[in-house]
Amino acid sequence: MSHEVMEQAKPLSWRPVTQSSALSPVPSGARDAVLKFYFGPMDCGKSTLALQMNYNHARQGRRGLVLTKHDRSGGPQVTSRIGLGQDAVEVEDGLDLVRLVTSYDHVDYLICDEACFYSVEQIEQLADLVDEHGVDVYAFGLASDFRSVMFPAAQRLFELADEVCRLQVEVLCWCGRPGQLNARVVGGVMARTGEQVVIGDTDDSPVRYQVLCRRHHRSGRLDEGSPADRPGQLDEGSPADRPGQLDEGSPADRPGQLDEGSPADQPGRHDGVLAPAAQTAQ
């Protein structure tokens, strides 16, 4: 690990915490360490919960490190959308998390924000810290990218974590349904292709992200007035674009089904009069 990274990490050494009389330190080794992954779409409170969890553990006398990657603040911090913040160690691509943690005298827990952006190898290192070093790891992040494809690190966390928890703070799509997926918006249009990780929602970025329900993420509708970007996904309430489905009340376009009240186009039937039966060859 580079000297620069170590110097960045050292200021996060533990600060003294004033405990109330109702609190008592948690003894080291009192239980098995755990790996937990908390996930959800944007705006569901992942970073807020990460900061709250760090506070709760620290006030019990536990010593921890706060890690992050690609925070929208642009610096090594964990920041929430409600204005909370905490200095953190930036998880660079080549950072060995086991070496980082073991460089300290003692670490009880890790708070890993934006863990979906870590490398798969770093997720393996987090599991090693739990199993081999008794360090609790609390990871927070998105499950899937703007295409609704899982991040590799998130997928590995789903596979390895002792507990996987969907955050219960409900985020709403513009239509009022629960928001489940993150859309990348460039120039007012929902993007379907591009790099998996692009930082957005900053003053100097043309990229923004928007939480949508599954229906509108699949159709590409960003608001009530925007058109869908996929064939067959028209406007909410419009009929499905299926063969023969024209508009509300129209009959299906099936062989012989013309309009309401029209006779079926069956062999030997024309305008309600049966055609003469074919003569049997002698």
- Measure the CA–CA gap between 2 and 173, rounded to whole angstroms: 43
Q: Where are the domains of the chain?
A: 7-16+31-169, 170-240
- In this structure, which amino acid lies at residue 104? Y
Q: Which CATH class is domain 7-16+31-169?
A: alpha beta
Range with top average pLDDT, 116-120, 196-200, 268-272, 274-278: 116-120
Q: Which CATH class is domain 170-240?
A: alpha beta
Active-site residues, by number, are: 114
Indicate if the pLDDT at residue 24 is higher than 70: no
Mean pLDDT of 79-88: 73
- Measure the CA–CA gap between 193 and 190, rounded to whole angstroms: 9
pLDDT tens per residue, range 139-171: 999 999 999 999 999 999 999 999 999 987 788
| Residues ≥6 apart with Cβ < 8 Å to 142 | 39, 40, 41, 42, 116, 151, 154, 182
In this structure, of 48-62, 162-176, 223-237, the range with the lowest mean pLDDT score is 223-237
Helices (H), 120-160: 120-133, 152-160
pLDDT tens per residue, range 255-269: 555 454 444 445 544
- Measure the CA–CA gap between 272 and 270, rounded to whole angstroms: 5
Mean pLDDT of 134-140: 97
- Measure the CA–CA gap between 41 and 114, rounded to whole angstroms: 12
For position 206, what pLDDT does the model report? Answer: 86
- For 82, other C-beta atoms within 10 Å of its C-beta total 9
Mean pLDDT of 84-92: 85
